[in-house]
Amino acid sequence: MKRKVIAALLATVTILSFTGCGKFTCDMCGEEKSGKKYQEELFGETITLCNDCYKGLEDLADMLD
Ligand SMILES: [Zn+2]
């Protein structure tokens, strides 16, 4: 991923909203997941992340610090 994209992702992490349980498709890994669902706005689009991908994003943020 490009650094700019990562920066944009990190910038949007603070506006994460939690939604209820249920099945959803993660926009990052493309898998159907159930459980915690994270949504964030990126470039005017709402993307849906599963818990695993969200954690991965956080790890990425730690690495960049
Ligand atoms: Zn995922």
Query: How distant is the alpha carbon of residue 16 from its chain centre?
Result: 8
List, for residues 23-65, the tens digit of each pLDDT value: 899 999 999 998 888 988 878 889 999 999 999 988 988 998 7
Ligand 1 geometric centre to CA of 45 (Å): 17
Tokens coding 51: 């818990």
Closest CA to 33 of 16, 17, 18, 52: 52
Of residues 53 and 10, which shows the higher confidence score? 53
CA angle 52, 53, 56 (to 5 degrees): 90
Ligand 1 geometric centre to CA of 35 (Å): 12
Ligand 1 geometric centre to CA of 53 (Å): 4
Ligand 1 geometric centre to CA of 65 (Å): 23
Contact 49, 40 (CB under 8 A): yes
Listed by start position, the domains of the chain span 3-64
Ligand 1 geometric centre to CA of 47 (Å): 11
Cβ-based neighbour number of residue 17 at 10 Å: 10
